[in-house]
């Protein structure tokens, strides 16, 4: 049981960084950026190149990778999305899909199709309350918590954070109050993509690097962001935690025993096959969209 909780926390940490970045970009630009998860892939590969290729320390490599991804995000905005501010969300979605494919295939071209690992050496897991947690996984949870806290302080305690919230709330009103919204949008791209890169590095630390690693988690990330109410950073964190637990708890529940209490079925040892793990996120996504499209913390439509 503890093991399930630990696995869920690791997953939630990875998802939260990506979901917060996605929701942040949505909050100011009003379109779901399909290319967002590719910044995770690029960040992970840049960190690999710096650490394994050039011999940088993993922490320094990660920070540089975040800056590179953030800069790339700003570059994509300047080159592409800034010219499409007046386009429909659908056109922006297609554009981001096209950009995402170009980015993913560029990674495949330079990195090759085979998977890589960070050179971490053998990890001896710790015993935590009867469950197993490797030091890397503990680090993943810690990094995600620190990032979320830093983001919270940025959003609420700084002038920049106020400007970001104002721009997300009402761009014209923010401009009327002397906020240079185009600059805020650039900052949002930088933070969103840097967070995505960090999320990608954490996922790669936990599993492996491959060109599809970003696109493989696009649905859980979207599900987390929409579940919390897209455009709501705290909602995205909550959504990531719920998704992380739903995926792991959903697989470990004996649905037969659970449902036999209702008297409708009498069976035991009915588990969701692990092949359907990804389906849990899909099902949550569709269910949320059907029942509460604003999400858990979503504001009422104006």
Partner 1 sequence: MIDFIVYLLTMIAIWGILSLSLNFQYGGTGLANFGHVAFFMLGAYISTILVMLAGLPIPLAFVGGIATAALFGILMALPTANLQQDYWAISTLAAAEIVRLIFLNQSLKGPYVGAQFGVGGIPRPLRELFSVETYGYFYLTLVLVCLGISFAIIIWLTRMPFGRALKAMREGDEVPLALGKNVRSLRIRAMALGGALGGAAGSLFAHYNAFIAPDYFLPLETFLVWAMVILGGAGNYLGALLGTVVVQSIYNSTRFLDDLLPIDASLIGPLRMIFIGLLIILVILYRPDGILPERRRRYEA
Site of interaction with partner 1 (CB under 8 A): 31-32, 80, 83-84, 87, 89-91, 93-95, 97-102, 104-106, 108-109, 112-113, 215, 219, 222-223, 226, 273, 275-276, 278-279, 282-283, 285-286, 289-290, 293
Considering the complex, what minimum distance in angstroms separates the CB of residue 212 from partner 1?
10
CB closer to partner 1, 72 vs 205: 72
Residue (41 or 147) nearer to partner 1, CB = 41
Reported as type and span, the H/E element at residue 292 is: none
If the CB atoms of residues 61 and 107 are measured against partner 1, the closer one turns out to be 107
Instruction: Indicate if the alpha-carbon torsion angle 124, 127, 133, 139 is positive or negative.
Output: negative
CB of 209 to partner 1, least distance (A): 16
In the bound complex, what is the minimum distance in angstroms from residue 32's beta carbon to partner 1? Answer: 6
Q: Nearest approach, Cβ of 231 to partner 1 (angstroms)?
A: 12
Calculate the CA 158 to chain-centre distance.
Answer: 24
CB of 133 to partner 1, least distance (A): 29
Between 83 and 157, whose beta carbon lies closer to partner 1? 83
Count other Cβ atoms within 10 Å, centred on residue 245: 17
Q: How many CB atoms lie within 10 A of CB 276?
A: 13
- Nearest residue (CB) to partner 1, 80 versus 154: 80
Which of 125, 124, 118, 141 minimizes the C-alpha distance to 201?
118
C-alpha distance from residue 131 to each of 125, 128, 204 (Å):
9, 5, 22
Closest-CA residue to 227 (of 284, 279, 266, 172): 284
In the complex, what is the shortest distance from the CB of residue 197 to partner 1, in angstroms, rounded to a whole number?
A: 20
Considering the complex, state which of residue 20 and residue 230 has its C-beta at the smaller distance from partner 1.
230
Q: How far is the CB of 177 from partner 1 (least distance, A)?
A: 28
Smallest distance from the beta carbon of 229 to partner 1, in angstroms? 12
Closer CB to partner 1, residue 130 or residue 275? 275
CA angle 256, 261, 265 (to 5 degrees): 50
Is-contact 164 187, C-beta < 8 A? yes
Interatomic CA distance for residues 261 and 268, integer angstroms: 11
Q: Which residues contact 195 (CB under 8 A, 6 or more apart)?
A: 17, 18, 20, 21, 24, 66, 147, 151
Residue 9 vs 213, nearer CB to partner 1: 213
Q: Is there a contact between 64 and 5 (Cβ–Cβ < 8 Å)?
A: no
| Six token digits for residue 254 | 């004996």
């Amino acid at each position: 049981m503890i093991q399930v909780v630990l696995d869920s926390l690791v997953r939630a940490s990875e998802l939260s960084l990506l979901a917060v970045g996605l929701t942040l970009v949505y909050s100011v630009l009003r379109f779901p950026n399909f290319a967002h998860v590719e910044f995770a892939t690029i960040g992970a590969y840049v960190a690999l190149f710096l650490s394994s290729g050039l011999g940088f320390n993993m922490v320094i490599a990660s920070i540089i990778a975040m800056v590179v991804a953030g800069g790339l995000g700003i570059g994509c905005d300047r080159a592409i999305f800034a010219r499409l501010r007046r386009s429909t969300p659908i056109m922006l979605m297609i554009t981001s899909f096209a950009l995402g494919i170009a980015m993913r295939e560029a990674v495949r071209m330079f990195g090759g199709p085979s998977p890589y690992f960070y050179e971490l050496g053998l990890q001896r897991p710790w015993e935590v309350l009867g469950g197993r947690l490797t030091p890397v996984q503990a680090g993943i949870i810690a990094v995600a918590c620190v990032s979320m806290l830093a983001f919270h302080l940025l959003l609420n305690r700084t002038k920049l954070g106020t400007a970001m919230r104002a721009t997300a709330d009402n761009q014209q009103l923010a401009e009327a109050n002397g906020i240079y919204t185009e600059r805020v949008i650039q900052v949002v791209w930088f933070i969103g993509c840097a967070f995505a890169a960090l999320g990608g590095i954490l996922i790669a630390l936990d599993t492996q690097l491959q060109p599809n690693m970003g696109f493989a988690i696009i649905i859980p990330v979207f599900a987390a962001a929409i579940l919390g109410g897209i455009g709501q950073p705290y909602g995205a964190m909550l959504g990531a935690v719920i998704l992380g637990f739903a995926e792991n708890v959903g697989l470990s529940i004996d649905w037969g025993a659970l449902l036999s209490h209702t008297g409708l079925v009498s069976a035991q040892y009915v588990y969701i096959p692990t092949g359907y793990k990804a389906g849990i996120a899909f099902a949550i996504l569709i269910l949320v969209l059907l029942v509460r499209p604003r999400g858990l913390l979503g504001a009422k439509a104006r």
